[in-house]
Structure 1
Amino acid sequence: MALSSAKRAGKRFIGHPEHAIPVASSVDWVSQVFVNPTQHIKDYLISLFPILTWITRYNPGWLTGDLIAGLTVGMVVIPQGMSYAVLATLPAEYGLYSSFVGVLIYCFFATSKDVSIGPVAVMSLTVAQVIKHVESRSPGEFDGPQIASVLALITGFIVLGIGLLRIGWLVEFIPAPAVSGFMTGSAISIAAGQVPGLMGISGFDTRAATYKVIINTLKGLPRTRLDAAWGLPGLVGLYLIRLGCIKGGKRYPQRARLFFFISVLRNAFVIIILTLAAWLYCRHRRNDAGRYPIRILLTVPSGFRHIKQPSIDPGLLKAMAPELPVATIILLLEHIAISKSFGRLNGYKINPNQELIAIGVTNTIGSCFGAYPATGSFSRSALKSKSGVRTPAAGIVTAVVVIVALYGLTDAFFWIPTAGLSAVIIHAVADLVASPSQVFSYWRVSPLEFFIWLAAVLVTIFSSIENGIYTSIAASLVLLLIRVARPRGAFLGKVLVREESSEQEREIFLPLTRAGITNPDVKIVPPSPGVIVYRMEESYLYPNASIMNSVLVDYVKENMRRGRDMTNVKLSERPWNDPGPSRGGAAADQVINETKPVLHAVVLDFSTVSHIDTTAIQALIDTRTEIDKWANHPVEFHFATVLSPWIRRALVAGGFGIGISASKSREIAAVVPHREDPNEIPEYEKDDVESGDLKKRASSSLNEKSGYAPLIGTETPFFHVDLAAAVKAAESGIGSA
């Protein structure tokens, strides 16, 4: 009946009858894919440049916040950029190149106003490892800057491709504890590797495994040099300034903003003091070999002296190839984690694919400026956010600050003590170590994920960052596969609850095992004898299909009556894999069997099933076949809350929902084609199919005179809108069977 004529007839509708379709059509899929492709292409191209959505609305009110944030980050990124370049075993100016290109290019492609792109500690250490690996395989063929710039080009191009293809969702397979684990392990590794530089200790490889570096550092303490007189006071000074500003802000709330900016400038302040002290002490103490009493940066070329096209050599690519996966993972993973975090904190949503495009373009272009791989920095992003940044345009201000430093301050950089840069690195990476409360929260939420976090930390410390991140990712994927392949499910019973507001009673369904129910007064009543209610807690897919089959079949064989009286079946006629009771115990077994209920219906709650595949449908068919064989009569299969039309389509293709017996679709995913012989169909199945009793029984329960249109079409009477309706239909069929 059409809706307009139904209204004229005075009928009411729950759901439009035209929408009550049982399955999806293939035309629906085609129309979704190819609907208005021109508009999709246009929207896609515009989305590549998010700056177009806000630059036309830029106003002086935003300018103030961007200027303050840009200048503040610029003051921090200069000493950090040079420090991280030294960590990457590159000349200090390369850190400034990466800082400039990162903050400038990113603002044109960003969907986050807070993230600051540039050199970061973990990526810098990874670059150092890549340089070490390439130099060990091809000694003397390639220098560090060439390796670093080519690494930026290749990893940037890979990440750009991932973003353009819109497959950034792959990052979601790496959970937060795994990211935190390798970040914590990396921070410990970086800090341990910088202690020798802080103390002036030399004579061993600081890029070896962390535990070896710690052991060698302890052994080398007697060899501490004068550099420690700059490194240790610098590190202590950084912490004292920060702690003092935190306490000052709490004690004098009206001056909290002042204390914040004093704390922000602590890196620049400490480096200036240490540089001045190094100049005063070293300017007249140069020996005949041209060396100074402590290690200093020496000459830092002004301007962009190394702008050129990256030199891509096949030999370099071959030597670098094993290190590319981990470098790419760190590049995109750290950035996405940071951008999502600040988007969540500040109330806006980032586009992960667009963020990948942003860092991909940044690194690809940066390689032409001599920059090494750059990604989002947690410390500078937090600083940018707290400084009141309003738009990504703050990056332009930071880029100007870096250019001024590159052209006007390089002479002063000559006297920066490297021990002071080590202090800056240690101070920065300490914030990346997970706090005890955060680690304890992993344990409380998911003990298995806590062990993933712990494994990532330990492998990073005792092996390498590369193995640490691979371990955390592999362990996370294994845990995910286990959860999919070994899903939880429960057989359900009824509980009668009363709603206080309306004084009405209704039925809810809870696990018969009382899982999660601590109140002993709650009585869970099993469904009517002969009815089984089972809830799946995962999608029904090929990894878990056999598990679901075993659970249902085993439960039926244990709790429901066997349809055949095995006392009258000869041993020679019994199947080899189900011989039944022995000849002497058959009578006693039949007495026990008679006490069990006759199975009538199986109700499956699909409310949490979002996907189903061919293997699962075949497993469900096999389950129905085995259960029918055990009961020796057709058993109804009812499905509750089948939300997806594609799941309905798949179930109907398997012969479910429409009252067709198992014999009609015994093989939907046959490995070896099987042609059924009608003579092989058991007699009980023949009778039921020919009479159509199942379909008649389900259809007869529909009230066609109520004036309501069904939410689910009458073509699929065994699909129900909710679990209560499914159980009611299953139980009502017991009396009519």
Structure 2
Amino acid sequence: MPRTVSDGGEDFDGDVSSQTGSHRYTDSNSTHHHHHHGYKVGFPPAKGLLAEFADGVKETFFADDPLREYKDQPRSKKLWLSLVHLFPVLDWARSYSFGKFKGDFVAGLTIASLCIPQDIGYAKLAFLPAHVGLYSSFVPPLVYAMMGSSRDIAIGPVAVVSLLLGTLLQEEIDPVKNPYEYSRLAFTATFFAGITQAMLGFFRLGFIIEFLSHAAIVGFMAGAAVTIALQQLKGFLGIKKFTKKSDIISVMESVWGNVHHGWNYQTILIGASFLAFLLTTKYIAKKNKKLFWVSAIAPLISVVISTFCVFITHADKQGVAIVKDIKQGINPPSFHLIYWSGPYLAKGFRIGVVAGMVALTEAIAIGRTFAAMKDYQIDGNKEMVALGTMNIVGSMTSCYVATGSFSRSAVNYMAGCKTAVSNVVMAIVVMLTLLLITPLFKYTPNAILASIIINAVVSLVDYETAYLIWKVDKMDFVALLGAFFGVVFASVEYGLLIAVAISLGKILLQVTRPRTALLGNLPRTTIYRNVEQYPEATKVPGVMIVRVDSAIYFTNSNYVKERILRWLRDEEEQQQEQKLSKTEFLIVELSPVTDIDTSGIHALEELLKALEKRKIQLILANPGPAVIQKLRSAKFTDLIGDDKIFLSVSDAVKKFAPKSALNV
């Protein structure tokens, strides 16, 4: 007997079972269903309302079954497991060794050398004092090391979040005229960013960030990289009066408006020469992975050399802008600075939610990337709680929003980090820097910080992935372009809004306009496939076979019904032209239909009525457990008749198609 396969991918060959669950039964002598192998469509056991609701909640929020470890455990063990769940350090610290520490120590020193100059630059990007950037690489990494589940992620301020905060905060308070109030709003936003992240993790709502598609994130990051690089032209060219807007048109007008009197050529010389040095080291590191440390320590070397040059040449007297004094000492408390009431409370909340979501998206993406490379799992909800807690603590210790940095995490990974202890080593180096050597940064030129940031954000423009997205899915590419141009020509929040809108639009389009396919029989088999994909597949005379490739809900039920009737009209026109036999049976293949609601059932009832007027019989093939259960509950199975519901398309065709039409 030839191998038989339904178009949904189920194999039917000899002794087979229904895809609809374990409730299957045979009746080889049955004339009721006329199935050649004796199997008929099974009905899963009916569930009560509460059981169905509980299953839905469990699948949505607890798909990973977080409580399975707690089953049948004594109370003391449950308490220990709860502590380990909250503080993974209690688990991995027990097997920590000196060998692992060596890897973490080297990685920690390497990322510290990279983060110190970056933090000073990123703080400027957020219009905050330089020391706040360093504070944010001291406390948050220590909290994350205790609570985070990623071994490779490096915590601290990042370019995209710094730009986002700087853009949103300065719309509310002028950072130059009111630096104190501005810092207070920044700490308030950081607090609410942490609350947002922790709540998403605690209530297991991590799936919300999945609404930002990969393509939208690629476009958003590329747009942010271009915007950040443009913002650095102020420091790179030595311009004193620069636009506060972040869009490309305002920035370029500001740049060209200052070309005759605003540019400082000593500043340009410093910036350009060190940017060339940084890009060269990055190129060397890319060509030879073992030389990653060359690129990692290049920013610190640039800062040291440029600071020394400015100091001995007194270039600051020639108009070269310098960092000036960085406040010495570690993080002072800032709990009392957070706005707990007044109009800035709501503004801080709004900015914090946006910044927190962006920071979360970046951190989770980075954590998953490196976990996959080292073949271990990270718990997304645990990560959110860890990131949220570190930002809540950070907001109370003079930090602004910290998250996972891709460039630093890559360096951390290549430097051979073994655990989150590399973050602790980095934090200690930053602490020593704050306590001992911040006065040495006084003569650091702003141009060098601009060069370091431009060098860091170049890698955010992922043109290879953009090209791949273009080749694979044009709609995804539209989302990418929308996010990119939104950030570059409008602002970061508009770009983010466009990215989310296009991602949701794509989902809605797919939900409201699902794919349907006309199926034909592959010669000498009982396999039925899409006639567009398989031109050799032949239509069965007198029978039209349609497959619906989506759940049928109120959003698409009318479209599905109309689309099937349109297939039928097209088929009838073709039959009249070619004088072929009239369609007597319509088989709807339901294996891809995972679910159906009352609107979907209503649409099937209307389809049945429309077919009856045409004297065409409706037949269903291979309905899944949820679908058949709901069709029975709605008494649609009584309406259509049990003998019109089949296990596979081939069963239905064998029963209803003329014997001359079968080529198997």
TM-score, normalised by the number of residues in structure 1? 0.76
Contact 2:133 2:157 in 1 (8 A): yes
In structure 1, the residue matched to 2:590 is: 606
The alpha-carbon deviation at position 337 of structure 1 amounts to: 2.1
Shift of 1:593: 11
Alignment of 1:527 onto 2:540: yes
In the aligned structure 1, how far is the partner of 2:364 from the partner of 2:331?
A: 32
Cα 1:119–1:22 change in 2 (3 A) is same
Is 1:326 the counterpart of 2:365 in the alignment? no
**What SS is found at the alignment partner of 1:661?**
helix
* SS of equivalent residue, structure 2 residue 173: helix
Deviation at 1:731, TM superposition (A): 3.5
Q: Report if aligned partners of 1:336, 1:352 keep a CA contact under 8 Å in 2.
A: yes
Is 2:189 aligned against 1:151?
yes
1:240-639 equivalent positions in 2, closer than 5 A? 240-244=280-284, 249=288, 257=290, 259-282=291-314, 293-309=319-335, 310-312=337-339, 313-320=341-348, 322-435=350-463, 437-496=464-523, 506-512=525-531, 515-517=532-534, 523-529=536-542, 531-557=543-569, 559=571, 597=581, 599-631=583-615, 635-639=617-621
**How many Å separate the matches in 2 of 1:137 and 1:334?**
26
Cα distance in 2 for partners of 1:554, 1:193 equals 55
Asked whether the 8 Å contact 1:135–1:142 carries over to 2, the reply is: no
Q: Which amino acid letter does the alignment assign opposite residue 535 of structure 1? A: R
Number of residue equivalences: 607
Measured in 2, the distance between the counterparts of 1:389 and 1:725 equals 59
Tell me the SS of whatever aligns to 2:138. helix
2:148 aligned partner, one-letter code: A
Q: Distance in 2 between matches of 1:137 and 1:730?
A: 78
Secondary structure in 2 matching 1:604: strand
Matched, 1:205 2:217: no
Say if 2:161 and 2:359, in contact at 8 Å, map to a contact too. yes
Evaluate the alpha carbon distance shift between residue 47 and residue 527 of structure 1 in structure 2; reply closer, same or farther with a 3 A threshold: farther
1:573-593 deviation line (CA, Å, top 9, x unaligned): xxxxxxxxxxxxxxxxxx969
Q: 2:52: which partner in 1?
A: 29
TM-score, normalization by structure 2: 0.84
Aligned to 1:119: 157
Cα distance, 1:14–1:140 mapped onto 2, change above 3 Å:
closer
Q: Alpha-carbon deviations, 1:12-44, whole Å to 9, x = none?
A: 996897565503422453675799997687677
Give yes or no for contact 1:539–1:610 (8 Å, CA) kept in 2: yes
Matched residues in 1 for 2:111 and 2:482: separation?
34
User: C-alpha separation between the residues in 2 aligned to 1:417 and 1:138?
Assistant: 19
**In the alignment, is the contact (CA less than 8 A) between 1:200 and 1:419 conserved in 2?**
yes
Question: For 2:121 and 2:320, how far apart are their aligned partners in 1?
Answer: 16
- Would you say the 8 A contact 1:559–1:596 is kept in 2? no
The verdict on how the C-alpha distance between 1:206 and 1:221 changes in structure 2, with shifts beyond 3 A counting, is farther
Counterpart Cα distance in 1 of 2:409 and 2:375: 15
Match of 1:651 among 631, 651, 656: 631
Give me the identity figure in percent: 27
Task: Work out the CA distance in 2 between the residues paired with 1:410 and 1:401.
Answer: 12
Pick which of 341-350 and 378-387 moved more. 341-350
Secondary structure of the equivalent of 2:527?
strand
- With 449-458 and 484-493 compared, the bigger mean Cα shift is at 449-458
Structure 2 residue identity aligned to 1:61: G
Displacement of 1:511: 2.4
Measured after TM superposition, the shift of residue 393 of structure 1 is 2.2
- Which residue number corresponds to residue 219 of structure 2? 181
1:232 is aligned, of 255, 272, 276, to: 272
2:189–2:351: 8 Å Cα contact kept in structure 1?
Answer: no
Moved more, 462-471 or 228-237: 228-237
**Could you say what secondary structure the match of 1:99 adopts?**
coil
2:329 partner amino acid: G
Whole-angstrom distance in 1 between the partners of 2:232 and 2:399: 22
1:329 Cα offset (Å): 2.8
Aligned-pair CA distance for 1:212: 1.4
2:522 alignment partner, SS class: strand
Separation in 1, partners of 2:275, 2:250: 23
> Could you tell me how far 1:607 is from its partner in structure 2?
2.3
Distance in 2 (CA, whole Å) between partners of 1:354 and 1:719 is 46
**Separation in 2 of the partners of 1:650 and 1:494?**
30
CA distance in structure 2 between the partners assigned to 1:339 and 1:38 by the alignment: 23
Q: 1: CA distance between counterparts of 2:267 and 2:196?
A: 41
Q: Is the 8 A contact 1:560 1:597 kept in 2?
A: no
Q: Which of 539-548 and 594-603 deviates more? A: 594-603
1:650-686 superposed Cα distances (whole Å, 9 cap, x missing partner): 1212334x4x225xxxxxxxxxxxxxxxxxxxxxxxx
CA positional deviation for 1:271 = 0.6
Q: Secondary structure of 2:621's partner?
A: strand
The question of whether the paired residues in 1 share the 8 Å contact of 2:519 and 2:545 is answered with yes
Partners of 1:230 and 1:389 in 2: how far apart?
A: 34
SS of aligned partner of 1:275: helix
Q: 1:89 & 1:387 partners in 2: Cα distance? A: 31
Quickly say closer, same or farther: Cα 1:323–1:528, change in 2 above 3 A. Answer: same
Over 3 Å counting, the alpha-carbon distance change for 1:136 and 1:76 in structure 2 is closer
The 1:557–1:393 alpha-carbon spacing in structure 2 relative to 1, beyond 3 Å, is: same
Q: 1:608 to 1:55 in 2, by over 3 A?
A: farther
Supply the AA of the counterpart residue of 1:22. F
Q: Which SS does the other structure have where 1:443 is aligned?
A: helix
Q: Relative to structure 1, is the Cα distance of residues 448 and 652 closer, same or farther in structure 2, using a 3 angstrom cutoff?
A: same
Gaps of 5+ in 1: 1-11, 250-255, 287-291, 497-504, 562-590, 663-693, 699-716
Deviation at residue 414 of structure 1 after TM alignment? 1.7
Distance 1:594 1:131 in 2: 70
2:518 aligned partner, one-letter code: F
- Map Cα deviations across residues 387-417 of structure 1 (whole Å, 9 max, x no partner): 1111222211111111111111112122222
1:699-730: CA deviation from partner (whole Å, max 9, x where unpaired): xxxxxxxxxxxxxxxxxx7241x433343344
Aligned to 2:33: none
CA distance in 1, matches of 2:357, 2:23: 49
What is the deviation of 1:558?
Answer: 5.3
- Note closer, same or farther for the CA distance 1:236–1:630 as it changes in structure 2 (3 Å cut): same
Amino acid at match of 2:504: L
Q: What corresponds to 1:724 in structure 2? A: 650
- Partner of 1:369, secondary structure, is coil
Which structure is richer in relative contact order (CA contacts within 8 A, separation 6 or more)? Answer: 2
CA RMSD of aligned residues (A): 3.1
Indicate the residue corresponding to 1:501 in structure 2: none
AA partner of residue 228 (structure 1): I
Matching residue's letter, 1:413: F
Cα distance between partner residues in 2 of 1:446 and 1:37: 36
Write the letter of the residue equivalent to 1:187.
A
Instruction: Kindly provide the amino acid, as one letter, of the partner of residue 394 in structure 2.
Output: G
Residue 38 of structure 2 corresponds to none
* Preserved contact between residue 326 and residue 469 of structure 1 (Cα < 8 Å): no
> Any conservation in 2 of the 1:535–1:604 contact (CA below 8 Å)?
yes
Structure 1 SS opposite 2:44 = coil
Please, which runs of 5 or more residues in structure 2 have no aligned partner?
A: 1-14, 26-41, 71-77
Query: How far apart, in 1, do the equivalents of 2:358 and 2:272 lie?
Result: 30
Q: Alpha carbons of 1:24 and 1:402: their partners in 2 closer, same or farther (altered >3 Å)? A: farther
| Cα-to-partner distance string for 1:407-430 (whole Å, 9 max, x where unaligned) | 111121222221111111111111
